[in-house]
Amino acid sequence: MLRDLFKLQLNITGDAENTISTAENAITSGIENTTETATSEGILIIDLIIDSWPIMVPLFVLSVIAVYIWVERYFAIQKANKIDTSFMNNLKNNVSQGKINEAKIICSQENTPVGRMLHKGISRLGRPLEDISTSIDNVATLEVSNMEKNLSILATISGAAPMIGFLGTVLGMMNTFHKMADGAKDSGVEIGDLSEGIMYAMTTTVAGLIVGIVAYLGYNLLVAKVDKVVHKMEDSSLEFMDLLNEPAQ
């Protein structure tokens, strides 16, 4: 009886060791296969980009231009949005006390769209309020135009990049169908060649959509920041005109 139990235990131990060994081999094989697959996929992506270079190069150039415009405009608009909290109070105090030159100096030191806009209004003091308001509006229009510089290019890239990608896809599909026609005459068409050709064709669409989406999001972010500056300019203009209207009330 004891001998049978001992043999049974040895059999169970042996089966467990065999199971563990089989599992370890399976895991090791899976890791190796995964590594090989990842390596082949990485090489395939590089090959796709290289083979699609006539379309990829313009898309790359557009992406560089979009990034440059976004970074340059972002910091420019961010600078225009920074206004000293005590600016309007100091300006109103000097204007109400008749210190026009000091008020002009405060506007010049601010060096923002709001400062330049109000500086123009102060330089027109003594004229009718309508003329002062018109001069302020004209400067504000110029400042908004300067902040929106090159944003139209960014918007164009957001629409043109996907279209260029689609163009590459159409050209790639035409090339694939041409090869299919030639292959059908010789030895037939293989599914692997067909799928590979379609994959190459779709690469440009993916790249174009990525560039277009990034440019579109960047454009809308900059437009939102410009709107914030415009609201500050409108508030400052109204506050300044109210200050000029106070003595007449």
Q: Is 138 a domain residue?
A: yes
- Neighbour tally for 55: CB within 10 Å: 22
92 and 144, same structural domain?
yes
Residue by residue, what is the 3-state secondary structure of 77-137? HHHHHCCCCCHHHHHHHHHHCCCHHHHHHHHHHHCCHHHHHHHHHHHCECECHHHHHHHHH
pLDDT of residue 168: 84
Q: Is 139 a domain residue?
A: yes
Domain boundary (118, 148, 178) is at 148
Q: Are 113 and 77 in contact (CB under 8 A)?
A: no
Picking from 47-61, 81-95, 188-202, which range would have the lowest pLDDT averaged per residue?
188-202
> Is the entire prediction scored with pTM above 0.75?
no
Instruction: Name 107's Cβ contacts closer than 8 Å, sequence gap at least 6.
Output: 91, 115, 116, 118, 119, 122
From 168, 166, 190, 165, select the one nearest 179 (Cα to Cα). Answer: 190
Range of the domain at 130: 84-148
88 and 143, same structural domain?
yes
90 and 39, same structural domain?
no
Instruction: Name 90's Cβ contacts closer than 8 Å, sequence gap at least 6.
Output: 106
Mean pLDDT along residues 163-172: 86
133 and 91, same structural domain?
yes
Domain boundary (51, 74, 93) is at 51
90 and 44, same structural domain?
no
Picking from 27-31, 70-74, 163-167, which range would have the lowest pLDDT averaged per residue?
27-31
Q: Is 16 a domain residue?
A: yes
Q: How many domains does the chain have?
A: 2
pLDDT of residue 71: 95
Q: Is 124 a domain residue?
A: yes
Q: Is 88 a domain residue?
A: yes
Q: Is 98 a domain residue?
A: yes
Residue by residue, what is the 3-state secondary structure of 149-194? CCHHHHHHHHHHHHHHHHHHHHHHHHHHHHHHHHHHHHCCCCHHHH
Q: Which helix (H) or strand (E) holds 43?
A: helix 2-51
From 81, 51, 46, select the one nearest 221 (Cα to Cα). Answer: 81
Picking from 36-50, 51-65, 214-228, which range would have the lowest pLDDT averaged per residue?
36-50
What whole-number distance in Å separates Cα of residue 77 and Cα of residue 173? 43
Question: Is a pLDDT exceeding 90 seen at residue 209?
Answer: yes
Residue of higher predicted confidence among 233 and 244: 233
Q: Is 66 a domain residue?
A: no
97 and 46, same structural domain?
no
Q: Is 187 a domain residue?
A: no
